[in-house]
Amino acid sequence: MIEHSEGLRIIIEKRLSNGMRDYGGILKSMKGVDPREVWDIYKDFNPSGAQKKYNKIGLTNSYPKFSEPHPAYSQWRLTPESTKKALETIEEKNYPFICFLGCPILASNFDQASSRTLALDIDESNLKKLKHYMHIEKYDVNDELAENFNGKFDCVVSDPPWYYDDIKRFVARGSELVKEGGTIYFSLPGLLTKPSIVKERLDFQKWLSESRLIVDSMSPSVEYEVPAFEYNAYFDIPAFTGDSWRTGDWGSVRSSQFKTEK
C-alpha cells in the first residue's frame, strides 16, 4: 500500500502535469487534505507558482448572527450551499420527530422546525439563537442522555468533530436518541484527509456493524467555511488565501429493527 505522503505527492504531480497550476485549485480538488501538506509538496514541484503573489480574501462568515466558531469545540461550519444540500433529503423525508445534535447551524436552517424538533449543543450562546424555533437543551456529548430523550426521535442530525473517537461518540449518542429503524445523519472526513483515515474508516464500518447500524447512504458532498482559528493557523502559507478547501462525506445510517441471529 502507498504511504499517505507518497500518495499525495503522486496526486499533486499528476494535477500539475494535467495543467492544474494553481495551489488553491489543487488544494480544493484533494477534498480535505491539510493545506500545509499540499503546500510543502506543491512548492517543490512548482516553485514559480509558489513564488507568485497571492491576495488573502479574509474571513468568511455566512452566519453572522452566530458567534465566531470556537476552536475548543471544533466548530467548523458548512457552507450555505452544503447546508442546503444536507437538509434537502431530511426535509423531503418529513420525519415527525427530529434532533439536531451538536450542529446548530443546520438546525437554524431547517425549514420544518417545530415543537417536535430538539437541538442539543454544548455552546449555550448558539442554542439561544434557536429557542424561538424549537426546543433547546445544553448538552455535552460525553455525558449520559436524559432518559426522556432515549428512543424518541425518528431522525438525528449531527456534524461531529473529525476525530475518530468523537465521530463514534456522536453516532453512538444518535443511536440512543433514535427509535428502532430511525436514521442518523453525520459527516465524515474524506479518504485523503490524514494518514490514518483509511484504517479509521475500515474500523468505523466494523464498529457500525457491531452496533447494529446499517449504512444507508454516503457521498462526498459537504464543504466547510474556514473558521478564524484555522485561517490564522495557515496564514503563513503564502498561497493560502482563506478560500474554503475542506470537504467531506455526508452519510446516514439506520438503526436496525431486527435482532442479529447468533
Q: CATH number for the domain including 131?
A: 3.40.50.150
Task: List the single range of 28-32, 83-87, 140-144 with lowest mean pLDDT.
Answer: 28-32
* 27 and 135, same domain (yes or no): no
Confidence band of 257 (pLDDT split at 50, 70, 90): low
User: Is residue 107 located within the same domain as residue 139?
Assistant: yes
Alpha-carbon span 230 to 224, nearest angstrom: 11
Residues 164 and 129 in one domain: yes
Query: pLDDT by residue (tens digit) across 96-152?
Result: 999 999 999 999 999 998 999 999 999 999 999 999 989 999 999 999 999 999 999
3-state SS class at 214: strand
Domain match, 36 and 75 both: no
Q: Are residues 142 and 244 in the same domain?
A: yes
Q: Do 81 and 49 share a structural domain?
A: no
pTM of this prediction exceeds 0.85: yes
**Does residue 84 share a domain with residue 30?**
no
In DSSP terms, 78 is beta-bridged to 224
CB 189 within 8 A of CB 248: yes
Note whether 113 and 242 are same-domain residues.
yes
Total number of domains in the chain: 2
The pLDDT of residue 149 is: 96
23 and 97 fall within a common domain: no
Mean of all residue pLDDT scores within the chain: 93
Question: How far apart are the C-alpha atoms of 169 and 180, rounded to whole Å?
Answer: 18
Collapsing DSSP to helix, strand or coil, 207 comes out as helix
The DSSP string of 146-204 is: PGGGTT-EEEEEE---SSHHHHHHHHHHHHHHEEEEEEEEEEEE-TTSSTTHHHHHHHH
- Find the domain containing 24 and state its range: 1-53
Query: What CA–CA distance (Å, rounded) separates 92 from 212?
Result: 25
Note the pLDDT tens digit of each residue in 37-83: 999 999 999 998 888 888 898 888 899 999 889 899 999 999 999 99
66 domain residue, yes or no: no
Q: List, in sequence order, the alpha helices (H) in the chain.
A: 4-17, 23-29, 35-45, 47-50, 80-93, 104-108, 124-128, 164-177, 197-210, 228-233
Q: Residue holding cell 505522503?
A: 5
